Structure 1
Amino acid sequence: MSSPANPLHHPGAGAPPSTFEEATYRKVAWRLTPLLMLSYVVAYLDRVNVGFAKLGMSTDLGLSDAVYGFGAGIFFIGYFIFEVPSNIILHRVGARVWIARIMVSWGIISMLTMFVTTPTMFYAMRFLLGLAEAGFFPGIILYLTYWYPAHRRGRMTTWFMTAIAISGVVGGPISGYILKAFNGANGWHGWQWLFLLEGIPSVIVGILVFVVLDDRISKAKWLTDQERELLERNIAAEEATKEDHSIGKVMMSPRVLLMSLIYFSFVMGLYGVSFWLPTIIKSTGVTDAFMIGLLSAIPFAAAVIAMVLVARSADRTSERRWHVALPGFAGALGLVLSVVWAHDTTLAMAALTLATMGIITTLPLFWSLPTSFLAGTGAAAGIAMINSIGNLAGFLSPYAVGWLKQITSTTDSGMYMLAAFMILGGLLAISVPARLVNK
C-alpha cells in the first residue's frame, strides 16, 4: 500500500477531486486491509498447517500418504456444503458478526485437532474445520465489493490475498520451530502443539474483527460525510451497470460455471503445493524440520512480490485475462521443473519458487473476473458458488497427489497433473470475453 496520506481535504476546500478521492481510498485501505490480511493469515495457517503436522503425525498415528491426502482434502467437502448459505447469511446479517463467528469457531476446532488418534478422528476434525471456515474467503471478496469499484478492487484483493503467501513466509519457520522445539513437552508430540498454538490466534483475531470491522460504508464513523458520500456514489455508479439476478439464475449461469472451472484449475495447483511442499522439500534430502520450515518460506516470500507487481500492472492497464493466464502458465512450468530438478535441493527450490509465484499470483487477479459482472444477492451467491466449486479442488488435489505418490513412490506424476490443470485454467481465462471483464 502507499504511505499514509497527508491530512485530507474536501474538494471544496481547494484540493482537486482526484486528490481527495485518492486520499479517501488510502484511508479506507489502511483501515481495512491490515485486519483483513491478518484474518486470512491465521485462517490459511490453520487450513494448511496439517502439511507440517504430517511430518510427525503420519509416523505417530500410522497415517499413509493416501490417508493423509484424503484427510487434508476432506476439509473442502465441509467447506463446499456450507459455502453458499454462509455467504448469503453474511450479506444479510453483516460481515462483522459473521466473520467473527467463523474465525472463533474454526480456531477452536483447529485446536481440538491435537487430540486425534485415528484416521477416522482425523477425517472428522478436518471436515468440521471446513464446515466452520466455510464462507470466510468469499465473504471477504463480497465485502470488498461493498467498498471498492472494479478498477480499484483488483489491487485490494491482491493485498488481501498476499496473506496466503505471508502465512507461508511466517508459518513455515514457526511451524518447523514448534515441531522441533515443543516435541515431547508436557508429554505431547510436536504436531499436537502445532495445532494448539496456531489455533489460538484465530480466536483472538475473531474477537478483534467483532470489535473493529464495519459492515458497510454507511456505518463507518471514522469517515467524514464527504468521504462517505464519495465512496457510496462510486459503488452506486458501478452497481447500476450490473444485473442483480436471482440466486437460482446465478447458479445456472454459464458464465458462473466457467468461472468455477477456471478457479477449480488454479486451486488444484494451490493446494497441491500448499499441502505437499514440506514433503517435497524433505524428499530433496532436507531432514531437519526447522530447516524445511525456513526453506518453505522462500517461495511464498517471492510470491508476495509477484502478486503485488502483477496486480499493479492489471489495474494500470485495465487488462485482466492475460494477467491471470500468464502466471498460470509460469506456475505450470515451475511444477514441471520441480520434477526435473527433484534431486538437487537448490534447483528444486528455484523451480518450486517459480511454481508458487505463478500459482498464487493467479488467485487475486482471478477474482477481478466474476466481480466485474455480479451484483447484489446474486454476487453473494455467485462468488460463494465459484469459491465452493473451485475449492472442491482442495479436496481432490492433495488426495490425488497422495494417491499417486503412494502407488509410484514419488510426487512426480502429481506435479505433472497439477501443471496440466494450471495450463487449463490459463487457457480458459483467455477464453473469457474481454468486454466482460476489462474495466
Structure 2
Amino acid sequence: MSYTPAQGVAASPGTDVSFEEATFSKVTWRLLPLLFLCYVASYLDRVNVGFAKLQMLQDLKFSETVYGLGAGIFFIGYFIFEVPSNIILHKVGARLWIARIMITWGIISGAMIFVTTPEMFYVMRFLLGVAEAGFFPGVILYLTYWYPSHRRGKITALFMTGIAISGVIGGPLSGWIMHAFPGVHGLTGWQWMFIIEAIPSLVLGVVVIFYLKDRIRDAHWLNEDEKRLLESQIAQEQADKTEVSLGQMFADGKVWLSAIIYFCFVMGLYGVSFWLPTIIKTTGVTDPLNIGLLTAIPYAVAAIAMFMIGRSADQHRERRWHVAIPAFLGCVGLLFSTVYDHNTLLAMASLTLAAVGILTTLPLFWSLPTAFLSGAAAAAGIALINSLGNLAGFVSPYLVGWLKDATQSTNTGMYVLAGSLLLGGLLTLAVPAKLVNK
C-alpha cells in the first residue's frame, strides 16, 4: 500500500522501494508547504523595495544611486551575521531560530514606512539584513537533516520556487496596493505595501514554533519504521563524507570556489529582482498595477522550469551541466532584454528567459557544496558560501543604479550581469563531476 497525504498512513515496509518513497513523500508533505510559504514571505519582504521604488524615489527625492545603495546594503548586514546565525541554528534548533528570524524581519520590514531620508533608508535596510541572516542557509542545512543528497535537488528546487512564486504573487499584489491605497489614512501606496506585506512573516514565524521539529527522532507524525529508514539514510550519507573542522572548512578551496560561483549567480538574481519593475517601465508601461501583473510572467514560467530541471538533475544524478546550462540561458536572456528594451513583448520574452535561467541555477547550485560538507562544517560552510555569495546582492543593485545614473540606461548594468552569469556557468564546470554527481 502506498502513502498519499489524504490517507494519512504509511506504506508497509514489506516492499522497500514503495515504503521508502512513501516515507519521503510523507516528510515532503509535512515540511515543504510551510518552509515554502516562509521563503515566499522572506523573499517578498526582501525585494518589495523594487516596487516601492516606483513611488518612493519621487516622494522622498532619492536618486537611482541612493536606491541602489539602500537596496544593496541589506546584504552587508546579512553578510556580517550569516555564519554566526547558522551556527546558532545548528546548536539551538531550526524551530526556534527560524521563528526568531521571521518575526524580527517582519517587524523591521513593516517599520520601513517611517523612512524619510537616505540615511534612514540605509539603516532600515541594513537592519533587515541583520534580522534575516541565517534563514535561507538554515533551511538548506535543515533539509540535509531529512533528505540524502540524491533527493535534495528536487526538494531544494521545490523550496526555492518560493522566489518565483513570490514574484507571481508579490508583483500583482504590490502593484495593486500601490495603485489602490495612496492617501488611505494619510499614508502613501508604498507605505501601505510595506505594512501589508510584513504581516505574513509575523504570522508564519509564530506557526513555525508550533509546527516544525528539529530532528527526525522528534517527529511524532512518523512511526518507528519510518524514523529508522530516514535516520539510516542520513547516517549512511554522513559516513561517506569526510568530517572536517571549521578551520579546514575555511581553508577548503572547494568552499571558496562555491562562494565565487554563487556570487556570480546572485549578481544576476538581484539585478533582475530589484530592477525588473524599472526595466518593464522603461518599455513604456507606467501603471504600477500593470507593471505588477507583467512581472508575474517571468516568475511563473521560471517556477515550472525550476521543478522540471531539478527533477531531471535528481533522475540523472548529474549536477554540473544542470547548473551551467541555465546560467548560460540567463546570460542570453539578459543580453536580449537590452536589444529589445523598447519593445514590451520582446523584452518580456527575453526577461522570461533570463528569469528561467537565473532562478533555475540557484536551487541546483546547492547540490554542489552539500555533497561534500557535513556536520558543523556544513552549518558554517553553507552559511559562508551564502553570505559571501549574497554580497552580490549589495554589489549588483548598487552597480546597476550607479550605471543607470551615469548612462541614463539600465543596459550597461545588464551587460555586467550577463557576464557574471556566463562566468558562474563556466566555473561550475570546473567542479569535479565525481565530487558532486551522487
| Band of TM-score, shorter chain | over 0.9
1:245 to partner: Cα distance: 1.2
Give the corresponding residue for 2:359: 360
| Aligned mates of 1:394, 1:206 — CA distance in 2 | 24
Give the corresponding residue for 2:52: 53
Q: 1:5 to 1:201 in 2, by over 3 A?
A: closer
| Aligned mates of 1:5, 1:270 — CA distance in 2 | 37
Confirm or deny: 8 A CA contact 1:5 1:26 kept in the other structure. Answer: no
Give the corresponding residue for 1:371: 370
SS of equivalent residue, structure 2 residue 266: helix
Confirm or deny: 8 A CA contact 1:244 1:379 kept in the other structure. Answer: no
| Aligned mates of 2:108, 2:239 — CA distance in 1 | 41
Confirm or deny: 8 A CA contact 2:172 2:293 kept in the other structure. Answer: yes
% identity of equivalent residues: 65
Confirm or deny: 8 A CA contact 1:172 1:297 kept in the other structure. Answer: yes
1:10 to partner: Cα distance: 2.8
SS of equivalent residue, structure 1 residue 240: helix
Count of residue pairs the alignment pairs up: 435
* 1:146 has 2:145 as partner: yes
| Aligned mates of 1:3, 1:57 — CA distance in 2 | 48
| Aligned mates of 2:436, 2:224 — CA distance in 1 | 32
Moved over 3 A (4+): 2-7
Confirm or deny: 8 A CA contact 1:99 1:206 kept in the other structure. Answer: yes
* 1:260 has 2:246 as partner: no
Describe how 1:73-222 pairs up with structure 2 within 5 A: 73-222=72-221
| Aligned mates of 2:29, 2:142 — CA distance in 1 | 16
Give the corresponding residue for 2:280: 281
Aligned-partner residue type, residue 385 of structure 1: L
| Aligned mates of 1:190, 1:74 — CA distance in 2 | 23
* 1:418 has 2:420 as partner: no
Aligned-partner residue type, residue 271 of structure 2: G
TM, length-normalised to structure 1: 0.98
1:184 to partner: Cα distance: 0.9
TM, length-normalised to structure 2: 0.98
* 1:224 has 2:226 as partner: no
Confirm or deny: 8 A CA contact 1:80 1:134 kept in the other structure. Answer: yes
Superposed CA offset, 1:114-170 (max 9, x none): 110000000000000000000000000000000000000111100000000000000
Confirm or deny: 8 A CA contact 2:150 2:314 kept in the other structure. Answer: yes
Give the corresponding residue for 1:332: 331
Confirm or deny: 8 A CA contact 1:310 1:323 kept in the other structure. Answer: yes
CA RMSD of aligned residues (A): 0.9
Aligned-partner residue type, residue 114 of structure 1: I
| Aligned mates of 1:153, 1:253 — CA distance in 2 | 23
1:3 to partner: Cα distance: 6.3
SS of equivalent residue, structure 2 residue 147: coil
Give the corresponding residue for 2:17: 18
| Aligned mates of 1:243, 1:218 — CA distance in 2 | 24
Give the corresponding residue for 2:11: 9
| Aligned mates of 1:70, 1:245 — CA distance in 2 | 37
Superposed CA offset, 1:268-293 (max 9, x none): 00000000000000000000000000
Unaligned runs of 5+ in 2: none
Superposed CA offset, 1:187-221 (max 9, x none): 11101111111011101000000110010101100
Confirm or deny: 8 A CA contact 2:167 2:299 kept in the other structure. Answer: yes
| Aligned mates of 1:349, 1:406 — CA distance in 2 | 23
Give the corresponding residue for 1:320: 319
| Aligned mates of 1:411, 1:313 — CA distance in 2 | 34
Confirm or deny: 8 A CA contact 2:4 2:22 kept in the other structure. Answer: no
Aligned-partner residue type, residue 276 of structure 2: L
Give the corresponding residue for 1:347: 346
Give the corresponding residue for 2:434: 435
1:5 to partner: Cα distance: 7.2
